[in-house]
Amino acid sequence: MRAIKQLDEWLAKAESGILVFLLFLMVFFAFGQVLLRNFLNSGLLWTDIFLRQLVLWVGFLGASLAVRERRHISIDVLTHFIPERHKPILNILIGFISGLISAVLALAAWKFVQFEMESPTTLFLDFPAWIFQTILPFSFTVISIRYFLRVYDESVKYWNLR
């Protein structure tokens, strides 16, 4: 289990670095496109499509990091009506269900990418669309693993298994 947590730590650092790089690219290309359009009456045709793909990557990498840091969107209406002693069980159950849903979404996303690999769809500059869509199964898999790690940690704490 320690190796998995170390892998998660390394992965979070890699995700953060990739996020910073992608955000830099987004600002660079968006600003460049504005300059080209306003001052030279031209532009790069593929930049808008590329920026849309970068938004997808930034969103999913950000979601993965948000789950790791417990800063994701959550609906906690139920926690206001449950006694304090039952909240850890509820958190374990919600984490487990969230992990299962994320795993199902990872599988569906992988099937979607495989389907896209079979089709000759390109986005720009002859890049196949599936290359940019690989973020979907990757992120959902990492999100699922992070939820299951949380369930494990909270279960160990709740039942004093250490």
Is the pLDDT assigned to residue 100 strictly greater than 90?
yes
Is the pLDDT assigned to residue 76 strictly greater than 90?
no
Mean pLDDT throughout 145-154? 93
Instruction: Provide the mean pLDDT of the chain.
Output: 92
Range of the domain at 118: 2-158
Q: How confident is the model at residue 104 (pLDDT cuts 50, 70, 90)?
A: very high
Token pair, residue 57, equals 């990557």
Structural contact between residues 11 and 142, judged by C-beta atoms closer than 8 angstroms: yes
Q: Using CA atoms, how far apart are residues 95 and 131, in angstroms rounded to an integer? A: 30
Reference 154, options 82, 99, 77; nearest CA is 99
pLDDT score recorded for residue 162: 59
In the chain, the amino acid numbered 153 is D
Neighbours of 26 (CB within 10 A): 16
Is the pLDDT assigned to residue 77 strictly greater than 90?
no
pLDDT score recorded for residue 132: 95
Q: How many domains does the chain have?
A: 1
Q: How confident is the model at residue 31 (pLDDT cuts 50, 70, 90)?
A: very high
